[in-house]
Amino acid sequence: MRKPAAIFAAAAVIVTAISAGLSVQPAAALSPGVAFNAENLPTWQANGVVWSIGQSRGKVFAGGTFTQIRPPSGGTGAVQNRSALAIFDAETGNPDSCQLNVTLSGGTPTVRSVVTSADGATVYIGGNFSNVGGVGVSRVAALDVGSCKVKPLRVSGVSSMVYAMAVSGNTLYLGGAFNSVGGQVRRQFAAVNATTGALLPFVANAGLVNRPTTATADGRALAVSPDGTKVALGGEFDTINGQDSHSIAVVSATNTSATGANVRNYPAGFIHRDSITKTLHTNGNTLYGGNEGTGAGVFDGRFAIDWGTLNQKWRDTCLGATQAVLVYKDTLYAASHAHDCSSMNAFQNGSRNYFTAQSTTNAALYQWFPRANDGIGEGLGPRALTVATGRTTGKNYLWSAGEFTQINGAAQQSLTRFGPDDTKNPPTPAASAEALTSGAIQVRFRTVVDPDDSDLTYSVFRNGSATPIWTSKAKSMWWTRPQVTFVDATVNAGTSYSYRVRVSDGRNTSGLSGAAAATARTRPTDYPSTVIADGAQFYWRYDEASGAWIQDRSRATTTGKNGLALMGVTRGVVGAITNDPSKAAGFDGVDDYIWNDQYAPAPSTYSIETWFKTNTTSGGKIIGYGNGRPRTDNGATTLSGRYDRHVYMDNTGRLNFGVYSGGTKMVRSGAAYNDNRWHHLVATQGAGGMNLYVDGVSVGSNAVSTAQSFYGVWHVGGDKLTGWPNRPTSDMFKGTIDETAVYGTVLTATQVANHFSRGGKGAGG
């Protein structure tokens, strides 16, 4: 048994039209919608957890549980003693001249929340402390940004930790673990005068329903509507003012007659019972939030709610404990450890991604993935975000704080920041060239992965020329690397040509790839040219001697087509086509399979074609469509939960072509084909129904023209078959597979017979 390789970034195909000297707009240096480079800038760091950050007038205020700050690795400066609060220059990342130590009588101080007044003159901090800058002040304090002094605000009798705050006008809202403020009952939420700290009549008491005695209803997040009339509450609660509203609720603000009264409840079920809202953020007319959950089926992602209607606009169902969200220039940035976004048609369950950026319109993820780690404490990575403007250049910087101890693979604890300028070159691509048809050479290369730019511009250079013969854009994300095919049709038979590829983000340019050479020729009409001429969208010959990438030879003229990646199969096996040196792929029937990495809607009209050879008596899937993909971080097998449009062999050697359309719909061959000889297989479905061909002849058909709708990828050599008729002993195929093609049309019987004839093996020879 060959184990799957450790990491496989699969190839998909963006096949571009035949062209020369194509003019395109250059790519931007960053992904569309993204304003910050993924490479972190030098920033001072702390020796503990930084829970919250805020900004004002070119300064960043970092609150947490720490006792010292120190320079970044390789930086200069002496360690400074700073307890629970440190203030930095937003532009340089260095400590600011204003510093105010925080202490707690008889305990360890902590600052859990930092917010700024609308005019930027005041920064409020909340947590558990008794003194700030030498001034006795308990659990809530107001700092004058200009004078670097503690302001007169005093909030008396906050009975426990403050986790969250929001300021609107002259009202400061508080959320936390407290049950009383100023001697009055205030369970987890309260409001005070933002100047004096006097308690206001705002009552939005949180509670629990049927929870363990150790459970808490803590308030964790607050946000105020743009018009100041509503307040969103987030936390661990099940009720607000005794009404069913789990994790999130909206209540009246202090400037209304019904201050604190429920305006909109979100009963249990809107948010999973085991999920809590950790962050809320207002931008324009939208309330954004993020959740953390524990256990199966929880909600761990982000959501957007319309402040006008209080209805949900969209929900991101990625898994990975969201801790902070922030909108900047119509992009939602999040701090989390997202590890599974397959429900969003993005990356499969695997490695953790601690920073994400996505569309505020539809939640689509952008290519922006700075790396971090779980770090210390609870091991949740980053916990807070803020955008701060430099005082000298006026540039904006995205700051993050949390528990991490590494950023982008280098030591950096608790604080980091990302700037607007991208100065790093994209990786250098690798290219191949092949004269597969007459009068043309295919130049193929996989897109590269740039951590902060999905849309890159690729240029192909011929025979050492400084002027590209072809230039165009292609898009890639870290979990999906499309193949690009340029077809050079301006070649002369018998002449050898050399090609090199370069990629640019619009500002930075990679080096040139190694040279790939091929000799143009006049080919006879053979099997490959027939497949290409009949419009194959994907065509995999399995000729590659090594590596994860199996190249698509289809020469399709549309975009967004899929390639394949290797999962432990045997390479270099003698192929199916007579008088053709092309090789085949061998499968062990245990865990070997091949897949394509770009989720796409399952096709309604298609033909799947391949050659196979086996003597197995345990069956297995030869090819099919499914929603499972291997983990992108370590290549571990992840088979599908939804699967059809497949052909599999049962234990008797008979072939089964099945789709799901209100139930399993099947076409089954009458003969067995596990005779250890090569056989040609074609399965089609379209408006005329399903048809199964073996060795050029139809062996069964029906009138079923529909199948289930889902996003998925093609699997070759195995995938789940649970619940399907004539299910074999093994879902994984043991044998040899060659010349796999997928079409967006229904091949005719004449075309099928012609393909079999071109293969040259006769009746299964």
Q: How far apart are CA 32 and CA 686, in angstroms?
A: 37
pLDDT, position 672 = 98
Please state the rounded mean pLDDT for residues 660-687: 97
Higher local confidence (pLDDT), 625 or 18: 625
In a domain, 300, yes or no: no
The verdict on 450 and 428 lying in the same domain is yes
Give the percent of the chain with pLDDT over 70: 93
Do the Cβ atoms of 46 and 88 come closer than 8 Å?
no
Higher local confidence (pLDDT), 446 or 49: 49
Q: What is the CATH number of the domain that holds 639?
A: 2.60.120.200
User: Which residue segment(s) compose the domain that 436 sits in?
Assistant: 8-29+424-523
The verdict on 562 and 661 lying in the same domain is yes
Neighbours of 551 (CB within 10 A): 24
Please give the C-alpha separations between residue 297 and each of 272, 275, 292, in angstroms, as whole numbers. 8, 10, 12
- Is the pTM higher than 0.85? The answer reads yes
Q: Which residues make Cβ contacts (< 8 Å) with residue 731, sequence separation at least 6?
A: 620, 621, 639, 648, 718, 719, 720, 721, 722
CA gyration radius for the chain?
30
The verdict on 536 and 516 lying in the same domain is no
In a domain, 435, yes or no: yes
Last residue of a domain, one of 507, 523, 539: 523
At position 57, the amino acid (one-letter code) is R
The string over 117-141, giving b where at least 16 C-beta atoms fall within 10 Å of a residue's C-beta and e elsewhere, is: beeebbbbbbbbbebbbeeebbbbb
pLDDT, position 82 = 97
Q: What is the CATH number of the domain that holds 477?
A: 2.60.40.10
Tokens standing for residue 332: 């939602």
- Count Cα atoms within 13 angstroms, Cβ side, for 662: 3
Do the Cβ atoms of 235 and 223 come closer than 8 Å?
no
Give residue 28's pLDDT band: very low, low, confident or very high (50, 70, 90). confident
Do the Cβ atoms of 624 and 644 come closer than 8 Å?
yes
Do the Cβ atoms of 464 and 331 come closer than 8 Å?
no
The verdict on 612 and 637 lying in the same domain is yes
The verdict on 553 and 636 lying in the same domain is yes
SS3 (DSSP) at 533: helix
In a domain, 483, yes or no: yes
Please state the rounded mean pLDDT for residues 535-555: 88
Q: How far apart are CA 334 and CA 336, in angstroms?
A: 6
The verdict on 683 and 609 lying in the same domain is yes
In a domain, 161, yes or no: no
Neighbours of 459 (CB within 10 A): 21
Strand extents, DSSP E, 157-265 = 162-168, 171-176, 180-181, 184-185, 189-193, 206-207, 219-224, 230-235, 239-240, 243-244, 248-252, 262-265
Q: Which residues make Cβ contacts (< 8 Å) with residue 465, sequence separation at least 6?
A: none
Tokens standing for residue 165: 């705050």
Q: How many domains is the chain built from?
A: 2
SS3 (DSSP) at 503: strand
The verdict on 517 and 534 lying in the same domain is no
- Look up residue 371 and give its DSSP letter: -
In a domain, 469, yes or no: yes
Please give the C-alpha separations between residue 622 and each of 32, 106, 695, 721, 732, in angstroms, as whole numbers. 39, 69, 15, 11, 8
Mean pLDDT comparison of 366-375, 441-450, 519-528, highest-scoring range: 366-375
In a domain, 714, yes or no: yes
The verdict on 578 and 629 lying in the same domain is yes
Last residue of a domain, one of 506, 523, 540: 523
Give residue 761's pLDDT band: very low, low, confident or very high (50, 70, 90). low
The verdict on 486 and 537 lying in the same domain is no
pLDDT, position 100 = 97
Please give the C-alpha separations between residue 148 and each of 59, 127, 153, in angstroms, as whole numbers. 11, 19, 15
Q: Which residues make Cβ contacts (< 8 Å) with residue 78, sequence separation at least 6?
A: none
The verdict on 616 and 660 lying in the same domain is yes
Element (H, E) at 620: strand 620-626
pLDDT, position 558 = 41
Q: Using the predicted structure, report yes or no on whether residue 588 has a pLDDT greater than 70.
A: yes
Please give the C-alpha separations between residue 234 and each of 95, 186, 220, in angstroms, as whole numbers. 32, 15, 6
Q: Using the predicted structure, report yes or no on whether residue 656 has a pLDDT greater than 50.
A: yes
The verdict on 491 and 532 lying in the same domain is no
Last residue of a domain, one of 523, 550, 580: 523
In a domain, 705, yes or no: yes
Please give the C-alpha separations between residue 621 and each of 474, 646, 649, 719, 730, in angstroms, as whole numbers. 33, 7, 6, 6, 8
The verdict on 571 and 669 lying in the same domain is yes
Q: How far apart are CA 675 and CA 350, in angstroms?
A: 40
Please state the rounded mean pLDDT for residues 531-539: 93
In a domain, 572, yes or no: yes
Q: How far apart are CA 300 and CA 352, in angstroms?
A: 13
The string over 659-694, giving b where at least 16 C-beta atoms fall within 10 Å of a residue's C-beta and e elsewhere, is: bbeeeebbbebeeebbeebbbbbbbbbbeebbbbbb
